[in-house]
Structure 1
Amino acid sequence: MGIYAAIDIGTNTLRLLVANATASDRFTVLHEEQEIVRLGEGLLPSRVLQEAAMRRSVAVLGRFAETARRFRPARIAAVATSAVREARNREAFVAAVLRESGLSVRVIDGNEEARLTLVGVQQGLGLGSSRVLVMDIGGGSTEFIVAAGEAIEAMVSTGLGVVKLTEAHLHHDPPTAGQLEAVERAIAQRVGRLRAELPDLAGTTLIGTAGTPTTLAAIDLGLPVYSAPRVNGHRLSRDRTRSLLQELASIPLTTRRETPSLEPGRADVIIAGTALLVTAMALLAYDECTVSDSGLREGILLDLLRQ
């Protein structure tokens, strides 16, 4: 089928995947990389992407485009999510990316983000027709997707992003007990309403995808460096996730940055992300979460192959 490339433009992280497709649902990875640029830094309350954040992101996307083109892909798909879709100056960002890199960015809504994430998770974990609740923890939003196979029963996109939660509540290093209580309270207020917005979750498996669950899995496994095959499918218990939250929240940022498998650029938002995961597990009555290394980026690529 040929070579294709996918770029996921997230609120916190930019991710590139170049792959050789052998079928509409199979591919071999030729190159992958990611960089934490914090595109959504300072987005609220003005809903304006900051100049410095845009410059960082445009520069990395230019490099990603150059890297991808060395493989001569049939197509490159670049997709932007929460930060860009919420920004009042998103057109300026999209225009800057096109001008500097030649990439045409597609800004997707929460429903399309959920669909593509589910496609990636399904392929990565081989879930078949299993009924699942996928929790996609992003920098600017978190999507909750109930599905059987690739058939979505319900999807709720929330504003519970790890960058937003960190900027709103966690102002000390390490955060105070009061700040931790505040962030968990804010999460609980929103997650607590999900039961009325989602169908019955009995018998579903909780799947966690994106940087928070994968990082926690790598830490739980004691990996000196991140390993996607080891992380993919790893099960995180609720008790272990709670203990990881307590451990991470008790040490300063400089120490967290030295944690194996924890990217330095994620060290400041991992506390909010862990609080989000463990609070959702508790309120939605899950004892464990299965981690998927595949998600939106892989879904973008698979969607290209099906077109």
Structure 2
Amino acid sequence: MAVYAAIDIGTNTLRLIVAEAVSADHYTVLHEEQTIGRLGEGLLPSRLLQDTPMRRCLKVLKRFGETACRFKARHVAAVATSAVREASNREEFVAAALRESGLNIRVIDGNEEARLTLLGVRRGLRVGSRRVLVLDIGGGSTEFVLARGETIEAMVSTGLGVVKLTEAHLKSDPPTPDELEAIEQVVADRAGRLRTELPDLNGATLIATAGTPTTLAAMDLGLTVYSPARVNGHRLSMTRTRQLFQALVTRPLAERRECPSVEPGRADVMVAGTALLLTVMGVLAYDEFTASDSGLREGVLLDLIRQQAAQD
């Protein structure tokens, strides 16, 4: 069977998956990894990707490209999201990636990001025909997808992102109540408009994907080594999420970094990410969420496999 690879170039995290296609809708994972490269570091207010994070991420992409070659991947799809699409020097980064790693990066808009994320989540959680609201909390943007099965009822892409919120509002260590309130207000102001942008959410299960919800799930499970199988599908109540939030905001960054459930490089953005999640849950009247380990990366892979199957 053919081998495929997919790369998700996010504002905070770069993720690779290599898999062997079994059919147009199924694959077997051969290799997966992720690195926090913080590509969007310092993006605002200039809207320029900065030299240091660009070089850092280009090295990761070179390694990802070499890994895909080692597994003899027949096709490789690489997509870039918020940081790259918002950057005025995105062409420079895309050209450097092609030159140094051989990767042809596709910069996708928020709606395409949402569509592909839904594809990955549905495959990972086997949601079938259930009605779901998928919340993808990224470093530079947050997407909402309301769907029943593969039918998308509504998609909303917002400029809310954990790296942006952290850089803009969290200056103290640990954060002050005023800083936390500022984040919650920004999120609440934007989330409040979702009530008119999304149809009736009655009966729709809230599924949250990306680093913030999966890290919260790992913390709740007490994992010292991350386990996708245990995190995927884990449910957290708002009450428990608030407890974890309090544990994060009362600790200085150095102590948050020592938490075995928190991936290195993610400790500084977990406060903003959890505040965002809790605020959205409150505005949209959800008392729990389900964590999905699968997301955009897996959706890009499945979409690639389907495209090639249609051409063969």
Instruction: Please report the TM-score for the alignment, with normalisation by the length of structure 1.
Output: 0.99
| Alignment correspondent of 2:288 | 288
1:22-49: CA deviation from partner (whole Å, max 9, x where unpaired)? 1111111111110001000011111110
| Alignment correspondent of 2:2 | 2
Is the deviation greater in 19-28 or in 199-208? 19-28
| Alignment correspondent of 2:72 | 72
Distance 1:208 1:11 in 2: 17
| Alignment correspondent of 1:231 | 231
| Alignment correspondent of 1:99 | 99
1:235-285: CA deviation from partner (whole Å, max 9, x where unpaired)? 010111111111100001111011112012000000000001111111101
Q: State the shift of 1:207 in Å.
A: 0.3
Distance 2:263 2:123 in 1: 25
Please state whether the residue corresponding to 1:265 is helix, strand or coil. Answer: coil
| Alignment correspondent of 2:310 | none
| Alignment correspondent of 2:249 | 249
Amino acid paired to 1:227: S
| Alignment correspondent of 1:219 | 219
Please state whether the residue corresponding to 1:298 is helix, strand or coil. Answer: helix
Q: State the shift of 1:150 in Å.
A: 1.3
| Alignment correspondent of 2:187 | 187
Structure 2: gaps (5+ residues): 308-312
Amino acid paired to 1:289: F
Q: State the shift of 1:305 in Å.
A: 0.7
Q: State the shift of 1:224 in Å.
A: 1.2
Please state whether the residue corresponding to 2:153 is helix, strand or coil. Answer: strand
1:32-181 to 2 correspondences below 5 Å: 32-181=32-181
Q: State the shift of 1:179 in Å.
A: 0.5
Distance 1:229 1:285 in 2: 28
1:185-219: CA deviation from partner (whole Å, max 9, x where unpaired)? 11111111110111000111000000000000000
What is the RMSD computed on CA atoms of the aligned residues?
0.6
Amino acid paired to 1:215: T
Structure 1: gaps (5+ residues): none
Amino acid paired to 1:224: T
Distance 2:60 2:12 in 1: 13
Amino acid paired to 1:264: P
Alignment length (residue pairs): 307
Distance 1:115 1:197 in 2: 16
Amino acid paired to 1:245: F
Distance 1:207 1:291 in 2: 6
Distance 1:92 1:103 in 2: 14
1:113-145: CA deviation from partner (whole Å, max 9, x where unpaired)? 011000000000000111110000000000011
Amino acid paired to 2:110: G
Q: State the shift of 1:151 in Å.
A: 1.1
Please state whether the residue corresponding to 1:264 is helix, strand or coil. Answer: coil
Distance 1:210 1:216 in 2: 11
Distance 2:171 2:90 in 1: 28
Distance 1:201 1:87 in 2: 34
Distance 2:26 2:219 in 1: 29
| Alignment correspondent of 2:297 | 297
Query: Do residues 21 (structure 1) and 59 (structure 2) align?
Result: no
Q: State the shift of 1:51 in Å.
A: 0.7
| Alignment correspondent of 1:11 | 11
Distance 1:275 1:150 in 2: 30
Please state whether the residue corresponding to 1:145 is helix, strand or coil. Answer: strand
Distance 1:5 1:29 in 2: 10
Please state whether the residue corresponding to 1:266 is helix, strand or coil. Answer: coil
Please state whether the residue corresponding to 2:59 is helix, strand or coil. Answer: helix
Q: Which stretches of structure 1, 4 residues or longer, exceed 4 Å deviation after superposition?
A: none
Distance 2:115 2:247 in 1: 34
